[in-house]
Copies of this chain bind each other. A is one copy, B any other.
Amino acid sequence: MTKDIETTILKAASSVFVKEGYDGARMNVIAEKAGINKALLHYYFRSKDHLFQMVFERVMHDFFSGLFRDISVDTDFRSYLENFVTVYLNSISKKPYVTRFMIWELGHGSGKVNDLINRIMKKWEMNEIPVITAVRRAVERGEIQDIDPIHLFISLIALCIFPFAARPILENKVEGLKVLSKEFVEARKEAIIDLVWNGIARPREV
């Protein structure tokens, strides 16, 4: 039952890394949590670095490959937008620890995430980020205004991921806000789609 103990370790390591960060994580804590001792940890995963690599890879690959699969549909842009936002928010709210890893990465040069994204894109034979392609096409088709695809791409990701990344601050400052609650996530979907599609200027509404 080698497979079993390895996944046990990976899960234990995952939870510790998410909670404490890479530097904060202690190998003996991980071992303890996995019900084994430190030497065994090094027997299965050569080093802390290597173990982290495995955990990180597993979590991120899982997340991104699912995401890339689900947003690569070719429809009219309004539907694309709705699908993108829904998929992104569902994914991230189901696995909020992904943002923890993202944040850790951003503080450490982001090499791993960049590699990972490049690998996935190569595997799926994309030579451009799908959102950017979708925006470009929508503009060409005249479905939406002449928007810079890169800025819209940045904006979409920002609108989706930010509440989860900044959760500790938001929940402290906004009374009663629960970012991970189903209510918030649903409201957020609508808010984003509405904002992006319609803006806030008054006239359009009546």
Interface residues in chain A, defined as those with a beta carbon under 8 Å from any beta carbon in chain B: 21, 23-24, 100, 103-104, 106-110, 113-114, 117, 129, 142-145, 147-148, 150-152, 154-155, 157-159, 161-163, 165-166, 168-170, 172-174, 177, 187-188, 191-192, 195-202, 204-205
What are 14 residue pairs bridging A and B, where the CB atoms are less than 8 Å apart in the complex? A23-B23, A103-B103, A109-B168, A114-B169, A114-B173, A117-B169, A144-B200, A145-B200, A145-B202, A145-B205, A150-B177, A151-B188, A154-B170, A195-B196
CA distance A177 to B129 in the complex (A): 14
Q: Are B191 and A148 interface neighbours, CB within 8 A?
A: yes
CA distance A198 to B187 in the complex (A): 20
Q: Is the interface of A mostly helix, strand, loop or mixed?
A: helix
- Whether A201 touches B202, Cβ cut-off 8 Å, given contacts A151-B188, A154-B170, A159-B159, is no
Q: Are A152 and B107 interface neighbours, CB within 8 A?
A: no
Query: Chain B's nearest CB lies how many Å from the CB of A173?
Result: 6
Counted per complex, copies of this chain come to: 2
